[in-house]
């Protein structure tokens, strides 16, 4: 009995790339002109005049991206690579750009006209018209065309909608809603395909017209809320190493806020001893404490809870609040400055008094006082 083993070695070649953009699917187009030398590729920029929409479709497909959305020269800067000398003549159906036919060579293109390209993100799924990239009307690209997805219940559960959220790298679905507008073309999705977890662009079954479409909100990572404290005059002594000192008996307010991302929601102000809740108004909430007491001392944090789900929340940093007696601060801030002011006024008064009386002949009353001290008036005057 004999045994043998074999294995397959694959060498993948990259013939196109987009440089200087925000990711794989955008940037300045470069083509590898020497496919025989993969260890040391020779990259060339492509002239804008030699590149059209059908060429762009091939490049976006080759890179695994969606349909081309922007085709413009020098959008992502000038390249240092030499210019590709032939015009591409793609039909739009080719798998790779180098499969397209080429026209005769020419050398009339300058580096500042190198073509730049932006393809839609891979996956052919997007959420349009929402307050963030992870909320809005669900649209799918199929057969080169973007359309809203028809809203069909009970197909679109949170679990099914989660397929779209994951494809967009937006976590899980927290809200699914059916919206209505004017009649327009939509994609009808295969129920079995969606429920199997397949990519949504593979589940578009048919084209039809409908006024109903689907909007999703996915659990995109929430911003971290901000927490701050303010008070009446002299109520807060300022930031300490661990937080703030609030004076007993003074009014103080702890404020929670968050950058605009989703509408509504609420703020939970949590401490080691109490919890307080307020709705988010203009993405903020203010918790008023009428008179600081020792019971208010502790660590506080703001938790923003979205309107879609109690599990969709974000917590701020911890703020330490210490309640102290205002007496020492009042002495330091009021009594000591008043004492210093009084000493200054007395010193200034004595200075001007001495200056006004210097060189003036003593009065009779002053002579009597000098006689009493045993100093003759004439002698004193001679001095």
User: What is d(CA 315, CA 326) in angstroms, rounded to the nearest whole number?
Assistant: 32
Sheet with 252-257: strands ordered across: 226-231, 252-257, 284-289
Pick the residue with more confidence: 193 or 357? 193
CATH at 170 = 3.10.250.10
37 shares its domain with 49: yes
90 shares its domain with 161: no
Q: Could you tell me if residue 11 is inside a domain?
A: no
**Rg of the chain over all Cα atoms, to the nearest angstrom:** 39
Q: Could you tell me if residue 8 is inside a domain?
A: no
User: What is d(CA 165, CA 173) in angstroms, rounded to the nearest whole number?
Assistant: 6
207 shares its domain with 163: yes
Range of the domain at 90: 16-119
Q: Quote the pLDDT of residue 225.
A: 93
pLDDT score of 351 more than 50: yes
pLDDT score of 53 more than 90: no
35 shares its domain with 105: yes
User: What is d(CA 80, CA 71) in angstroms, rounded to the nearest whole number?
Assistant: 20
pLDDT score of 13 more than 50: no
Which of 325, 353, 374 is the C-terminal boundary of a domain? 325
Q: What is the DSSP letter of 92?
A: S
User: What is d(CA 96, CA 61) in angstroms, rounded to the nearest whole number?
Assistant: 8
306 shares its domain with 334: no
Q: Quote the pLDDT of residue 169.
A: 72
Alpha helices, H only, 142-221: 158-167, 191-195
User: Residue 218 forms beta bridges with which residues?
Assistant: 173
State pTM to two decimals.
0.43
User: What is d(CA 253, CA 230) in angstroms, rounded to the nearest whole number?
Assistant: 5
Q: Which of 222-236, 250-264, 313-327 has the lowest mean pLDDT?
A: 222-236
Q: Could you tell me if residue 1 is inside a domain?
A: no
pLDDT tens digit sequence for 237-287? 444 435 788 888 889 999 999 988 778 899 999 998 889 999 999 999 999
Query: How many domains, the chain?
Result: 4
Q: Quote the pLDDT of residue 3.
A: 44
145: confidence class by pLDDT, cuts 50, 70, 90: confident
Q: Could you tell me if residue 211 is inside a domain?
A: yes
Cα torsion angle, 305, 310, 316, 321, sign: positive
108 shares its domain with 155: no
311 shares its domain with 259: yes
97 shares its domain with 71: yes
How far is residue 224 from each of residues 170, 260, 302, measured CA to CA in Å? 17, 11, 9
Q: What is the mean pLDDT of residues 31-49?
A: 77
Which of 214, 168, 13, 205 is closest to 99 using CA atoms?
A: 13
Q: What is the mean pLDDT of residues 54-68?
A: 80
Q: Quote the pLDDT of residue 237.
A: 44
Cis peptide before 177 (omega within 30 of 0): no
Residue 76 near residue 26 (C-beta atoms within 8 A): yes
pLDDT score of 381 more than 60: no
Q: How far apart are the first and last CA of the chain?
A: 139
CATH at 293 = 2.60.40.10
Pick the residue with more confidence: 157 or 372? 157
36: confidence class by pLDDT, cuts 50, 70, 90: low
Which of 197, 218, 239 is the C-terminal boundary of a domain? 218
**Percent of the chain topping pLDDT 70:** 74
Residue 158 near residue 176 (C-beta atoms within 8 A): yes
Which of 124, 194, 120, 121 is closest to 162 using CA atoms?
A: 194
210: confidence class by pLDDT, cuts 50, 70, 90: confident
Q: Could you tell me if residue 146 is inside a domain?
A: yes
Pick the residue with more confidence: 67 or 336? 67
Q: Could you tell me if residue 10 is inside a domain?
A: no
Pick the residue with more confidence: 17 or 109? 17
328: confidence class by pLDDT, cuts 50, 70, 90: low
Q: What is the mean pLDDT of residues 324-334?
A: 64
Q: Could you tell me if residue 141 is inside a domain?
A: yes
Which of 119, 141, 158 is the C-terminal boundary of a domain? 119
Q: Quote the pLDDT of residue 200.
A: 82
282 shares its domain with 371: no
**Percent of the chain topping pLDDT 90:** 11
274 shares its domain with 362: no
pLDDT score of 189 more than 80: yes
pLDDT score of 198 more than 80: no
Q: Quote the pLDDT of residue 374.
A: 57
Q: Could you tell me if residue 6 is inside a domain?
A: no
356 shares its domain with 267: no
Q: Quote the pLDDT of residue 269.
A: 95
Task: Tell me the pairing of strands 173-189 and 236-239.
Answer: unpaired
289 shares its domain with 320: yes
27 contact partners, CB below 8 Å, separation of at least 6: 17, 18, 19, 20, 21, 76, 116, 117
pLDDT score of 235 more than 80: no
pLDDT score of 174 more than 70: yes
Q: How many CA atoms lie within 13 A of 372 on its CB side?
A: 6
């Amino acid at each position: 009995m004999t045994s043998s083993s074999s294995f397959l070695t694959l060498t993948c070649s990259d013939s196109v790339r987009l440089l200087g953009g925000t990711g794989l699917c955008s940037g300045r187009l470069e083509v590898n002109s020497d496919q025989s030398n993969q260890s040391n590729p020779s990259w060339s920029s492509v002239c804008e005049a030699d590149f059209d929409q059908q060429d762009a479709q091939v490049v976006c497909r080759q890179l695994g991206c969606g349909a081309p959305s922007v085709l413009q020269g020098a959008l992502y800067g000038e390249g240092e690579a030499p210019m590709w000398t032939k015009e591409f003549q793609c039909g739009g159906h080719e798998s790779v750009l180098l499969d397209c036919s080429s026209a005769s060579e020419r050398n009339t293109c300058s580096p500042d006209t190198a073509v730049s390209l932006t393809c839609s993100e891979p996956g052919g799924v997007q959420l349009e018209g929402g307050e963030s990239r992870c909320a809005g009307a669900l649209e799918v690209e199929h057969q080169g065309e973007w359309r809203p997805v028809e809203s069909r219940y009970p197909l679109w559960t949170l679990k099914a909608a989660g397929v779209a959220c994951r494809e967009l790298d937006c976590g899980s679905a927290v809200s699914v809603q059916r919206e209505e507008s004017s009649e327009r073309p939509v994609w009808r999705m295969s129920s079995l395909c969606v429920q199997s977890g397949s990519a949504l662009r593979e589940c578009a079954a048919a084209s039809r017209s409908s006024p109903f479409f689907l909007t999703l909100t996915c659990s995109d990572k929430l911003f971290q809320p901000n927490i701050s404290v303010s008070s009446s005059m002299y109520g807060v002594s300022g930031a300490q190493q661990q937080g703030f000192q609030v004076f007993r008996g003074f009014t103080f307010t702890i404020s929670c806020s968050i950058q605009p991302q989703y509408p509504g929601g609420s703020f939970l102000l949590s401490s080691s001893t109490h919890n307080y809740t307020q709705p988010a108004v203009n993405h903020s909430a203010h918790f008023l404490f009428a008179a600081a007491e020792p019971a208010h001392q502790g660590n506080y944090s703001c938790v923003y809870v979205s309107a879609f789900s109690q599990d969709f929340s974000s917590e701020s940093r911890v703020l330490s609040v210490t309640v102290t007696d205002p007496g020492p601060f009042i002495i330091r801030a009021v009594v000591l400055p008043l004492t210093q002011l009084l000493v200054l006024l007395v010193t200034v008064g004595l200075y001007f008094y001495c200056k006004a009386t210097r060189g003036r002949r003593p009065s009779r009353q002053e002579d009597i006082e000098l006689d009493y001290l045993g100093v003759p008036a004439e002698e004193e005057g001679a001095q």
